[in-house]
């Protein structure tokens, strides 16, 4: 059985103190509740070292939202995979649409980051998804195929086992307009077929594929009930404790 995961993507939100309060609230809520889904908090870098102590002994994982493609050295302002790993973090998001569009990160760079993150021992939450114009011109499958082929499929099978895919249609991110469960299922099943074609059906069956884009407590159950949707990558709704905890509990 593949893992079900609900990951929060805090983006550039939460100063130190409110971040500590949010993570503590989530930890305490789940301290005596079992969940079907694994929980991951992807926070700004400033929280990572603190989360090591704060989440110690809990079943909540944590990670970063980006990393450098270089190992170390004169790259002012960058954060390396090994720095992230050294905080005890287990995950890094790579290829989020905001990194692709606002920071010009392309397939080749994202592949280098992914490869390095995995070599360093991190699990990668790799994002893919099409723009609204791309869906309207019905090239959304081709776009996602290109993102996966160029950004991921150079990995060998053992490396690929450390990848979690997040399908996030860009038109759904932060817009309040989520994909329908059917639209999510259709793309997730297509992604699983691509993985099957590259790595075989066993790996495809074991790969966790998350949906992201305006996922909230009120629509999560319906989206997560689709057979190829294994949980979610949650932006805005991960900043509110009650909302995020309810989304985690929507994975049945
Ligand atoms: P959203 O963001 O839930 O606020 O739409 C999702 C994401 O960007 O990961």
The per-residue pLDDT for range 97-137, each reduced to its tens digit, is 999 999 999 999 999 999 999 999 999 999 999 999 999 99
- Arithmetic mean of pLDDT over the chain: 98
Is the shortest distance between the CB of 214 and ligand 1 below 6 Å?
yes
47 is catalytic: no
- pLDDT for the residue 130: 98
Q: Using alpha carbons only, give the angle 75, 104, 212 rounded to the nearest 5 degrees.
A: 110
Ligand 1 centroid from CA 47, angstroms: 19
Provide mean pLDDT across the span 138-144: 98
Name the architecture of domain 5-248. Alpha-Beta Barrel (3.20)
Above pLDDT 90, what percent of the chain? Answer: 100
Residue of 209, 237, 197 lying closest to 128 (CA atoms): 209
157 is catalytic: no
Q: How many helices (H) and strands (E) does the chain have?
A: 12, 8
Ligand 1 centroid from CA 214, angstroms: 6
* pLDDT tens-digit series, residues 16-75: 999 999 999 999 999 999 999 999 999 999 999 999 999 999 999 999 999 999 999 999
* pLDDT tens-digit series, residues 201-244: 999 999 999 999 999 999 999 999 999 999 999 999 999 999 99
Is the shortest distance between the CB of 215 and ligand 1 below 6 Å?
yes
Q: Which atom of ligand 1 is nearest to the CA of 238?
A: 3
Residue of 133, 132, 148 lying closest to 209 (CA atoms): 148
CA distance 8 to 244: 8
Residue located nearest, by CA, to atom 9 of ligand 1: 235
In the predicted structure, residue 195 carries a pLDDT above the cut 90: yes
Provide mean pLDDT across the span 10-14: 98
Is the shortest distance between the CB of 37 and ligand 1 below 6 Å?
no
Pair 20, 44: CB distance under 8 Å: no
List, in sequence order, the alpha helices (H) in 61-139.
Answer: 81-86, 97-102, 107-119, 132-136
- pLDDT for the residue 1: 84
């Amino acid at each position: 059985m593949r893992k079900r995961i609900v990951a929060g993507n805090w983006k550039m939100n939460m100063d130190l103190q409110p971040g500590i309060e949010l993570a503590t609230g989530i930890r305490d809520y789940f301290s005596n509740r079992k969940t079907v889904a694994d929980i991951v908090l992807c926070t700004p870098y400033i929280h990572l070292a603190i989360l090591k102590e704060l989440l110690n002994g809990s079943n909540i994982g944590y990670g970063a939202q980006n990393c450098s493609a270089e190992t170390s050295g004169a790259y002012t302002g960058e954060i390396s995979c090994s720095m992230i790993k050294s905080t005890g973090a287990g995950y890094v998001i790579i290829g989020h649409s905001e990194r692709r569009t606002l920071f010009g990160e392309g397939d080749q760079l994202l592949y280098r980051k992914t490869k390095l993150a995995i070599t360093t021992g991190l699990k990668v939450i790799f994002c893919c998804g099409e723009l609204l114009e791309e869906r309207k011109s019905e090239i959304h499958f081709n776009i996602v195929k290109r993102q996966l082929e160029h950004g991921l499929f150079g990995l060998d099978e053992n490396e690929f086992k450390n990848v979690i895919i997040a399908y996030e249609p860009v038109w759904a991110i932060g817009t309040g307009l989520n994909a329908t469960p059917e639209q999510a299922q259709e793309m997730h099943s297509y992604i699983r077929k691509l993985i099957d074609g590259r790595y075989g059906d066993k790996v495809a069956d074991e790969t966790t594929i998350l949906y992201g884009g305006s996922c909230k407590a009120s629509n999560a159950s319906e989206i997560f009930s689709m057979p190829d949707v294994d949980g979610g990558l949650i932006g805005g709704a991960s900043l509110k404790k009650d909302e995020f905890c309810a989304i985690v509990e929507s994975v049945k």
